[in-house]
Structure 1
Amino acid sequence: MRLSPFDPWAFAAFDAQAMSHLLRGRYDESCHAAYKSVQANTAHSVTYVQLAAALAKLGRLNEAGLPPRACSNFSLHFATAVSLLA
């Protein structure tokens, strides 16, 4: 998908792609979309959770750690995180 580089909401489209790929078990595609979302908006912390879940599913546990700044502005319900990793 090509999005305008000037669209301030482009990160949301990439975030939606990341989540849909994650839920379908397409972890490589999920990582790719999540990386694009993070590049478009580093403050959207939920994308970091999706990225960490996809990386963990791929066995790339060293990369799956969330940066501290990504965790500082949100609280994630534990059951949601567990369901993403299950």
Structure 2
Amino acid sequence: MAGLFGDLDEAFAARGIHGKEGVTLSASYVKVLRQRNGREEIAAIKRGETPEDWKDKPRKRCQKDLDARWVKKNNEVHFGYKNR
């Protein structure tokens, strides 16, 4: 392997650190308030849409976080953002 990543791999290997390709070795999570959404709302959010019920309710819409996700790490469930 050549280049910067090859040099990094060699430096890590010399220190006994081995990583797998495409795997985050460590990540922390920024938690946000858990949301109580219905099945239809969850399906719309996963499709990248704003649920119909929220379109005419700006106060409700501003309280919802459409970018946060559920993640499981070490058998613990987190809702928020992954900070690598």
Structure 1 or 2: more strand by fraction: 2
Bigger CA radius of gyration = 2
Structure 1 or 2: more helix by fraction: 1
TM-score by length of 2: 0.26
Asked which structure has the greater RCO (Cα within 8 Å, sep 6+), the reply is: 2
TM-score by length of 1: 0.26
